[in-house]
Amino acid sequence: MTEALPFPDRINSLPGVRAGWVPRIPGIEVEVDRDEAMRRLKAAHFQAAVAFGGSEDRWWRAEQVHGTGVAVVPGSETILAPDGLPVVPGVDGLVTNTPGIVLAIYVADCGPIWLADPVTGAVGLLHSGKKGTEGNILQAGLDTMAREFGSKASDVVVALGPCIRPPHYEIDFAAEIARQAERAGVADYADCGEDTALDLQRHYSYRIEQGRTGRMMALITKLS
């Protein structure tokens, strides 16, 4: 069931959906704490999101608290993050069925999970690291899409992007995410297979860089 495919090509092969990825950005010094690193990356990430979605006011981000909360946007309340941009508080996943809404999550070893339902048109993004995987945020995302948009797990295409993997991390949460997808009834699951700890030219790695690093950004939108 699991295929090693480039990311996020599997999602981009679907009509009406666009997925994106912003890797490590050369030239921006991020050997600082998370909040300062995100402030330094703010302009580049903002520009990337606007270029991806074409609108400054239709970009939604999750606060990311290493939980399993999933919010539906637009319509969810927001707070300001330390970088000065709004986030949906208390959640690690976002879903929408509204065209033109750009969803964004950040990762630096945790797994970005893209969700796209070609039947209902719903899309989502999840942040699934050790704790999120233990709590099965993938199932929470699928359940939210089912409840809000009528999505069936068997129709939803799921793709896992770069994340830390053994031997650089003692827990193989990527393998567990694949098992969770199978148990949920996902028929189309792709794992890019990339280890963020292996290539610090392309990826930020929280573990290898001991917490003083930036974040990659995953993006998805439903096209009009």
All domains of the chain in start order, with CATH: 2-218 (3.60.140.10)
**What is the Cα–Cα distance from 5 to 37, expressed in whole angstroms?**
30
pLDDT score of 6: 62
Residue 85 C-alpha from the chain's centroid:
17
Residues whose CB is less than 8 angstroms from the CB of residue 94 and which lie 6 or more positions away in sequence, other chains included: 60, 61, 62, 70, 71, 72, 73, 88, 103, 105, 124, 125
Contact yes or no for 215/30 (Cβ under 8 A): no
pLDDT score of 57: 77
**What is the Cα–Cα distance from 201 to 203, expressed in whole angstroms?**
6
pLDDT score of 5: 46
pTM here is 0.95
| Dihedral sign of CA atoms 85, 103, 172, 141 in order | positive
| Dihedral sign of CA atoms 139, 158, 116, 86 in order | positive
Q: Where on the phi/psi map is residue 49: left (φ > 0), alpha (ψ -120 to 50), or beta?
A: alpha
CB atoms within 10 A of CB 79: 10
Q: How far is CA 102 from CA 70, 73, 97, 123, 180, in A?
A: 15, 10, 11, 10, 26
Written as tens digits, the pLDDT of the chain (224 aa) is 333 446 788 999 999 999 999 999 999 999 999 999 999 999 999 999 999 987 777 889 999 999 999 999 999 999 999 988 899 999 999 999 999 999 999 999 999 999 999 999 999 999 999 999 999 999 999 999 999 999 999 999 999 999 999 999 999 999 999 999 999 999 999 999 999 999 999 999 999 999 999 999 999 999 97
Query: DSSP character for 103?
Result: E
List the one residue out of 21, 60, 45 whose CA is nearest residue 192.
21
Q: How far is CA 114 from CA 133, 193, 207, in A?
A: 14, 14, 23
Q: In which residue are the tokens 């890019």 written? A: 192
